[in-house]
Amino acid sequence: MANEKGGVEKPRIIWNENEGRFESEDKKAYLEYHLINNGDSQIMDILHTFVPPSKRGLGLASHLCVAAFNHASSNSFTVIPSCSYVSDTFLPRNPSWTSLVYKGDVKSSM
């Protein structure tokens, strides 16, 4: 994914609202989520992140997470990081997003 200047191009992530996913343009890499109504607010439960072997090592999973967390932030959602990649890798590497993590008792929809 190099650009003409030799740098790495940021992948385009698409929000697929009907499927509850953020996806790469070819739909092979994705992050799945489920929205939970919690009174007058919503919680985004991030269930699964998948990047095929041919696309690993490019930071694609992180780009998918950033898209999901940006979406959650702009819609005033909190996030349940049910996906182990999000909870064990993405959030420790990107602690600025931990302010969006839901701290209540709602169980994951997994």
* Max CA pair span of the chain: 49
Give the pair of three-digit tokens for residue 27. 């739909």
**Does the annotation mark 83 as catalytic?**
yes
Q: Active site residue: 47, 68, 83, 86, which one?
A: 83
Query: Could you give the CA distance from residue 5 to residue 107 in angstroms, rounded to a whole number?
Result: 47
Six-digit token string for 10: 């940021």
**How far is Cα 20 from Cα 16, in angstroms, rounded to an integer?**
6
Active site residues: 83
